[in-house]
Amino acid sequence: MRILHDQPAELYSTFRLKTRLATVIEVRNLTDLQQLDTSSVPLVLGEGSNTIFLEDQSRPIVRFTGASITESWMDAARCLLHVEAGLNWHQLVTVTVVKQLWGIENLALIPGSVGAAPVQNIGAYGVELADICAYVDYFHWQTKTIQRFNPDECNFGYRDSVFKHQLAGKGIIVAVGIILSKASKPVLSYYGLDKLPETSSIRDIYQQVIVTRSSKLPDYRELANCGSFFKNPVISNAEFLQLNEKYPGVPGFKLTNGQVKIPAAWLIDQQGFKGYSNNDIGCYPKQPLVLVNYGNGQTEDLLSLVALIQNKVNQAYQIVLEPEVRLLDSNGQQYV
């Protein structure tokens, strides 16, 4: 176990606001976790690509750093990988591509750790974690034991799971089981991959995802950001028809439950935010759904830009945009 004091948040959040973190505790295994003092409930952090520390953080922060992969074959065609939570997600995807194991190649280049992947059920290009998840191993602060959750118990939804709700603050994910396939299973329906032939190799798809993502999204190592800042709002079909009457051409994707998902990027773009900045915080010129920190961004600038975007979109479409990113106050509570 490693305990670090008074750390710059810039090292622990890809948005890199210049706030401070009182204590960061790195745990590697079950022994470390069982020795951890959890009398004041710690905040769990992976690589901080979906987390912004708005204020200096007083709550202790715990990161799980174990990063091994254990492979076992279920039958001739399917392989189970038991992956520790501290592994970088993109590194895992790269390993599976090298091993020619199909299932997560569409999720290449998503920043962050394996442990965070089930929390918001990461997804991209028509694939989400729920599609390949066999189980999630979760250490409870209170009982100091690991419980295995099967996919049904994880309650996966759009950028959602039980770990954001009933289990929030109760413990930490230590490993994720994923099932991958030896047989070719390309998912090419999504825009960006739809020009690839059905015979594409796993490497072709992986590379196309990397090229497409890199052309649209800023690299957080060069320009600080946390990816999509707001969730895509979901409205009823009746609301969508009304909206479409007023704004013909508004894009909407019908969900299996009959509701309609509207791209938040479109709503924000229509309000003229592409490339807009508020001091050093702005909307990325190629993709206004991504808020960026040009270097010296301040919390007030971020919060006033968020409020401005929410108000404009709400006034125009009567839709409330909710942040997808975790915005934390000094006690580790969600800000908005």
Catalytic residue positions, numbered: 159, 228, 324
Sign of torsion, CA 213 214 218 222?
positive
Residue with the two structure tokens 């309000």: 271
CB of 243 to ligand FAD, least distance (A): 25
Residue (280 or 312) nearer to ligand FAD, CB? 280
Nearest to 69 by CA among 47, 46, 91, 49: 91
Nearest to 18 by CA among 323, 331, 312, 300: 300
Residue (115 or 151) nearer to ligand FAD, CB? 115
Nearest to 107 by CA among 85, 132, 84, 124: 124
CB of 172 to ligand FAD, least distance (A): 4
Q: Write the DSSP string, 131-187.
A: GTEEEEEEEETTT--EEEEPHHHHT-BTTB-GGGTTTTTTEEEEEEEEEEESS----
Residue (278 or 287) nearer to ligand FAD, CB? 287
Residues that bind ligand FAD (CB under 6 A): 14, 44-51, 64, 85, 110-113, 115-117, 119-120, 122-124, 163, 172-173, 217, 220, 225-227, 326
DSSP state, residue 243: H
Residue (208 or 240) nearer to ligand FAD, CB? 208
Distance CA 121, CA 118 (A): 4
